[in-house]
Every structure is written in structure tokens, then in C-alpha cells.
Structure 1
């Protein structure tokens, strides 16, 4: 199966505890605990596949029992796993989050195996399977910020990515600064929330349109900035900043919402949608996801 987009980054097991009760530090409440495939690259790939694209994963997955289960789950969904780096000595990564009625309470991402694998996950881009330095991958790449800062810096100047349409997402506000080397990449589109945008722009913007303008002023070619249920924005160096408001919905989950937004925007553009239509389609998809209308 030939992929039409590469998803590079974290593919792991999400362990999510959700409660319909508002929570605070020390809360002990009833709820549901689920385990499902996750990680930024994986969440994007699953949504892309749901909308009809064929994504390939470039990631690190262990050969432990959890890794075998994860590969099998990817294969069942129609994701291309032929290029995944499989490690004999690194365990499969995991992410754990607690969500209450008042949103995300806390989360821990254990992506140490992905970080330890380093540039081994990029081998298919240089050994001829997906490209070479002389003939780099010419299509879409969704890249997530769970990679190490050193590897992201290498990617920013690597000839392996010179012909790609790069779509970049931080893994979390805590890892947003890792994307600084990619901020001014000429073919990169950054997908960030307001907090992440302010970290990258070194600004204190209070709205998504302001944050998008600040990122463009810092040298970004193109950005999309979300802000929960408030107005979102898309900004480009040549076209200025446009806005879009997400539909009001009852929020039942938050983990994976930004990844769904990014994937839906990529699909809309791949189908030929104009700027405003693509932004609106992504906001609708994210709203459907957080309301529980789109399955995990």
C-alpha cells in the first residue's frame, strides 16, 4: 500500500481516565479508564485514515507484547506500518491522562523510546524506500514535537525534507520550544494552541488571531492557532490572518482534539478546500471529536 502522507512521531498506548465530575488536586472519583492507540502522530494518522487518506507511520514501537498489540491495531485500521522502527530493547511508549468535567487535570507522556530511537525512525526517507537525499519525499509530512530537540533541529535543515509539505504540531506546551528550529522553515505549517503559540512567539497574545500575527512576525511561513471554544485563526506570510469560530458543543473529552483538528485541516486542503473552508472544516471535526460524536 502506497502512502499519501507520512506521520512522524509518537505512536503509543493512551491510558485515559475520564470522570463526569469536576476534579481538583487529590480528587478520588468514579469514572472510566480506557486504553487505546494514541500519540500525536498516531492520532493524526487515525483521523487521516478515517477521512480516506493512506498514512504511513514513521515511529518507534517495541517488540514487546504491547508493541505487537499496537502494530496489530494499526494494521486493522489500515495504517501503513511497514516503515516503523521496531526495537528489541526499547519498550513501547505510553501516555497517561486524567480528565474531568473541567478538562484535562494532569498527564504524563512516556515517549522515552521514541527519543532513544532518534534518527533511526527516519531511515526509510534516506534508504530509498520513501526517498533519498537526491530524491526526497515530495509530499505531505505530519511531524510531531515528541522528537528530541536535536533531531527536530536536524530535520529543519535536512535535504530529506527539502521537498516536503511539512505540517508540524507540538506534543504539548511543555515541548513547544522544541519546534523553534522549524519556526522559519519555508514549507512548514505550524498547528499550535494559544499557549504554545505564545511560547514560540515569546508573546502574551490573548487571542488566536493576535498569536497568529505574532508568529508570522517571528518569521513563520504559515500557522494555525486554536483556543479551545474561542475563535481560532490561520495566518500565512502572503495572505494575512483569517478567523473561524468552532461550533458550540458539550465537551466530553479533550485528549486528541488538537490532533483531530490538524488532520481534518490537512484532509480538507488535500481535497482542494480554500483557506476559510479548510479552517471551518477542521473546527467542525474537532468539535465533533470533543463532543464524542467521532469515535476514538
Structure 2
């Protein structure tokens, strides 16, 4: 076992751990475009992206997810360990393949994407066994980054589970198509929600024109805390006593996939270091801008 895996984790990252297959073109694209570009395969998934970013910020994350006992899975586990992530608690399935995500990006942003997280969904609550079998101290009292690639039933279970009742939950929907899976955390007033403007609108069943309006709307609906982004427009941290809004740095967009995960990880890392709310938001926006510009290594 590596030294990385033997360390007590600073934070649990629960959700998708898979391979990202990303096609990128320097040209603006639309539906039906056929352009030259580059195709890469990298470790990805919301939980893993957050974990990798947290490791870059000096934390020791552990992953709770499902990865197949196939060639792709073995390779992915090795790649995670090389990036400073604790893989001891990952559920390895003999009959489920390793998940993957495929996206096409142009100079004008994300064109289309397909997330195949069926194995994670099929594994269900097996990925949470380390919280109940003594592998991890229970109830867990540390920070948890949770993504919406889990099923609605499992997310609802997490929102109410006594095993995580004292945890600092940080929750992201993974994509607008899965935004409604965060409803249990709004209804129970648990955790900090990390959403973009579209996802906030879906959760509140109302469109918003700004991140400040969206954060206020989520709080009014029952959320304990909300962090709302809007691309290059101002982002807002909303909590019971204040709304903090800040404009991100303007940069050339070199990549899109993983930017939200980097933002979330940077914000969590800043707060765990004791940064005040305004400084933590500033740190997160700066980190996301560096990532989008291509200056941050993956």
C-alpha cells in the first residue's frame, strides 16, 4: 500500500470516478460540425475531479465510488493513486464495467456530452459501506464532497443518514440534467449546494437572471447554504446572514469540462484552511479561471 493510501483522509469525495474522453477543437462548433482537434482520455468524474483538485490544494482526499475489476478500472485506480488520492474505500465490482464520460468542446464551449455512470448507479449503497462497516469512523464528522451522479434514492438516504448527520456536506448536481437529484438537500436544509444558474432555476422551478437572485431563491426554498456560479458572470455565496457576490477574472477559455469541479474544490479547500467567506470565493474564482485558461495542470 502506498504512503498516500495509508493517510487518514481530510475529506471524502463520493460519486463518479471514471474515464473522461474529451474531444476539443480550437474552432467554434455547432451541431453537426466536423472539425480537426485533439482527443484525450483522462481520469475524470465529478468526485474524482474534485478529489484531484483538492489534492493539488494540499489536502488528502479519499474516494467512495464504484470502479470495475476490468483493465480500464485497474488503470484508473493506478492513475488516482499517482494523483495523491486514497482509493482504499472504492467498491470494485466483478460484473460492472468502469464508467466513462464523453464530451465535445469547441472554442465556444461545451457542444455536447454523454455521461455513462450506470455502474455507479447500479452499485447503489455498496459504495457507502466504509461508513458502516468500521472502515471509516462513524458518524463521520469531516468534510464530504458529494456529486449528483448517485441515484435520487441514494442521495435522499445520504441527506438523512445518521452516519453523515455530523458531516460538512458539500453537494454538486454533476449536470443540469441531474439538478433535481439535489432536492433532498434543499428539503432537509442539509449541506452547501454548488450549482450554476440553470441548475438553481431547475431546483427552484423558476428562472433567475443573476447568481444573487438564484442564491436567495434557494435559501428561500429551504437550502442551508448555496454557492451559485454563472460562467463569466458574477458568482454568489448565499447563507442565512449574507449574500456575497463577486465577478470572476476574465480569461481566454481553453477548456470547460472540470471547471465547476475545480471551483468547488478550491472553495472547499479555502474554507477548510479557515479563509473568510469573501476570500474563499475569491480563491475559488481565481482557481477556476486558471483552470479554464489552461494554465492549471490536470
TM-score w.r.t. length of structure 2: 0.97
Aligned residues: 292
SS at match of 2:123: helix
* Kept in 2: contact 1:41–1:142 (CA 8 A): yes
Equivalent residues in 2 for 1:143-222, closer than 5 Å: 143-222=146-225
- Show the counterpart of 2:4: none
Q: Which deviates further from its counterpart, 195-204 or 255-264?
A: 195-204
Tell me by how many angstroms 1:202 deviates.
1.4
* Kept in 2: contact 1:184–1:221 (CA 8 A): no
Aligned counterpart for 1:29 among listed residues 35, 59, 72: 35
Matched, 1:271 2:277: no
Tell me by how many angstroms 1:185 deviates.
3.5
Matched, 1:15 2:21: yes
SS at match of 2:250: coil
d(CA) in 2 for partners of 1:187 and 1:94? 29
Matched, 1:65 2:68: no
Tell me by how many angstroms 1:187 deviates.
4.1
Could you report, residue by residue, the CA deviation over 1:124-155 in whole angstroms, capped at 9, with x for unpaired residues?
Answer: 001111133xxx01000000000001101111
Could you report, residue by residue, the CA deviation over 1:45-101 in whole angstroms, capped at 9, with x for unpaired residues?
Answer: 000000100000000000100000000001111100000000000000000000001
d(CA) in 1 for partners of 2:103 and 2:84? 26
d(CA) in 2 for partners of 1:235 and 1:228? 17
Structure 1, unpaired ranges of 5+: none
d(CA) in 2 for partners of 1:79 and 1:204? 38
d(CA) in 1 for partners of 2:161 and 2:274? 28
Q: Please list every run of at least 4 consecutive aligned residues from structure 1 whose deviation after the TM superposition is greater than 4 angstroms.
A: none
* Kept in 2: contact 1:131–1:160 (CA 8 A): no
d(CA) in 2 for partners of 1:138 and 1:271? 16
Matched, 1:88 2:90: no
SS at match of 1:44: helix
- Show the counterpart of 2:44: 38
Structure 2, unpaired ranges of 5+: 1-6
* Kept in 2: contact 1:96–1:108 (CA 8 A): yes
SS at match of 2:74: helix
* Kept in 2: contact 1:17–1:99 (CA 8 A): yes
* Kept in 2: contact 1:192–1:226 (CA 8 A): yes
- Show the counterpart of 2:232: 229
- Show the counterpart of 2:287: 285
Aligned counterpart for 1:142 among listed residues 141, 145, 160: 145
